[in-house]
């Protein structure tokens, strides 16, 4: 039994599985072709309490912690969903936490905030205007950090915000933004010092403000049901009330919330691996070559055994690190290692699962084909494998 298995989490797993079976699986192929998931899906997931997992009830969430969130993420994929679906439906998991934490700082930390002692006067308002409606499934949010000039170097952000009375005037552009087409608002990292100075602030920018343009829908190798956008800002006037926390606390806020995002991506990686093991086992039992099922051949059984071992080892390690994060331990290095371990396991397992499916594995009709394409982003998003290695090397004192 896993360390995260409790009777409550088994119920959560059941709820997630029935949601995916009823509301997702009949439509997922259509959404992959359409390039996005419908808004109605957010409302349905919200009604079941799934969107609010990991957010306190005081801000409209369903309660629960990081391990509950991991349980939901894992089960979405193991029930036949995909990491692309997780990215599209749970984008709020990266768009909202900074707001919740900042409001917590204002109210004495009761919401888990640690963003400094001079929060923005707007922080409480952000909860009502953005957090509650998003967790209720009536708004969609996105997080915009990456810019055309680079994503790994967060401190090098060049989108600027110049204070002008009660507003900031924002200029610059962002790219590869998940749910950027559908989003009603974008939690945006801007530079409030001179461009590239690393003095970052987070602003919530409403879709539709003059000068805010959502560019073309980016076409991708995988994550087809998740819309990805370029955004540009030309003299966009954003009210100061839309600032999250104090000015120049953005870099710290982004780094603090990377742990949850990286563990989510690690979960998507090992869960994709687990799902692909299941698909491969089923296939190898049914498929006969030279008069015998594939699974009867020792070389195939050993390959499946190794795939299963990799997926389970990654799962155990991610759970261990997530448990330590949930307990408040500062385990930045371990989070980076967990992401890399899970992504490496996923890369190997999806490749071998597709190979075992033969020609069918290469067809759009095969679920394993989607996982193979979807998996490639997991070592890029939320900090690349190389950037994780940099963090690990620093943790080793190198």
Ligand X SMILES: Cc1cc2nc3c(=O)[nH]c(=O)nc-3n(C[C@H](O)[C@H](O)[C@H](O)COP(=O)(O)OP(=O)(O)OC[C@H]3O[C@@H](n4cnc5c(N)ncnc54)[C@H](O)[C@@H]3O)c2cc1C
Binding site for ligand X (CB under 6 A): 142-146, 150-152, 176-178, 220, 223, 228, 377, 380-381, 383-384, 386-387, 390
Q: Rounded to whole angstroms, what are the CA distances from 324 to 67, 92, 263?
A: 10, 23, 12
Cβ proximity to ligand X: between 121 and 150 the closer is 150
Cβ proximity to ligand X: between 144 and 322 the closer is 144
**β-pair partners for 55:** 63
Cβ proximity to ligand X: between 76 and 95 the closer is 95
Cβ proximity to ligand X: between 85 and 304 the closer is 85
Tell me which residue has its CB nearest to ligand X.
151
Q: Which of 261, 288, 320, 334 is catalytic?
A: 261
Are the beta carbons of 186 and 143 closer than 8 angstroms?
A: yes
Are the beta carbons of 318 and 266 closer than 8 angstroms?
A: yes
CB of 263 to ligand X, least distance (A): 15
- φ, ψ of residue 145 to 5 degrees: the values are -115, -50
CB of 146 to ligand X, least distance (A): 3
Q: Identify which of 229, 220, 262 has the alpha carbon closest to the alpha carbon of residue 97.
A: 262
Cβ proximity to ligand X: between 184 and 312 the closer is 184
How far apart are alpha carbons 115 and 98 in whole angstroms? 9
Are the beta carbons of 254 and 260 closer than 8 angstroms?
A: no
How many helices (H) and strands (E) would you count in the chain?
14, 10
- According to DSSP, residue 156 is labeled G
How far apart are alpha carbons 385 and 44 in whole angstroms? 34
CB of 233 to ligand X, least distance (A): 14
Q: Is 261 a catalytic residue?
A: yes
CB of 145 to ligand X, least distance (A): 3
Query: Which two tokens mark 238?
Result: 């954003």
Q: Rounded to whole angstroms, what are the CA distances from 122 to 110, 243, 252, 364?
A: 17, 7, 19, 47
Q: Identify which of 371, 324, 368, 316 has the alpha carbon closest to the alpha carbon of residue 342.
A: 316
Are the beta carbons of 55 and 100 closer than 8 angstroms?
A: yes
Cβ proximity to ligand X: between 271 and 377 the closer is 377
CB of 91 to ligand X, least distance (A): 7
CB of 279 to ligand X, least distance (A): 23
List the catalytic residues: 261
């Amino acid at each position: 039994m896993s360390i995260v298995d409790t009777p409550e989490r088994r119920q959560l797993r059941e709820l997630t599985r029935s949601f995916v079976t009823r509301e997702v699986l009949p439509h997922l192929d259509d959404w992959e072709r359409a390039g996005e998931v419908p808004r109605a899906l957010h409302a349905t997931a919200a009604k079941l309490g799934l969107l609010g997992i990991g957010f306190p009830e005081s801000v409209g969430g369903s309660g629960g912690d990081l391990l509950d969130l991991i349980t939901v993420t894992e089960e979405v994929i193991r029930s036949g969903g995909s990491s692309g679906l997780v990215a599209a439906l749970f984008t709020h998991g990266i768009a909202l936490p900074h707001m919740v934490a900042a409001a917590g700082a204002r109210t004495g930390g009761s919401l888990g905030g640690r963003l400094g002692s001079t929060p923005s006067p707007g922080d409480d308002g952000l909860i009502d205007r953005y957090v509650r409606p998003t967790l209720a499934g009536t708004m969609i949010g996105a997080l915009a950090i990456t810019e055309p000039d680079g994503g790994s170097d967060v401190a090098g952000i060049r989108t600027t915000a110049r204070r002008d009375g009660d507003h900031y005037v924002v200029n610059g552009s962002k790219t590869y933004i998940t749910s950027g087409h559908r989003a009603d608002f974008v939690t945006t990292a801007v530079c409030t010092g001179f461009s590239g100075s690393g003095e970052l602030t987070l602003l919530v920018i409403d879709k539709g403000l003059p000068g805010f343009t959502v560019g073309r829908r980016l076409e991708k190798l995988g994550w087809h049901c998740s819309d990805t956008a370029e955004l540009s800002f030309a003299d966009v006037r954003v009210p100061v009330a839309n600032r999250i926390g104090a000015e120049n606390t953005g870099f710290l806020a982004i780094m603090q919330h990377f742990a949850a995002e990286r563990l989510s991506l690690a979960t998507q990686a090992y869960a994709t691996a687990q799902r692909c093991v299941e698909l491969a086992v089923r296939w190898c039992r049914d498929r006969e070559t030279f008069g015998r099922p594939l699974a009867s051949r020792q070389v195939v059984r050993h390959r499946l055994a190794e795939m299963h071992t990799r997926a389970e080892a990654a799962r155990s390690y991610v759970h261990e690190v997530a448990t330590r994060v949930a307990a408040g331990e500062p385990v930045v290095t371990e989070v980076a290692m967990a992401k890399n371990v899970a992504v490496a396991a996923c890369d190997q397992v999806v490749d071998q699962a597709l190979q075992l499916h033969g020609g069918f594995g290469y067809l759009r009709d095969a679920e394993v084909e989607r996982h193979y394409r979807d998996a490639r982003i997991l070592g890029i998003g939320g900090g690349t494998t190389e950037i994780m290695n940099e963090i690990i090397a620093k943790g080793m004192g190198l």
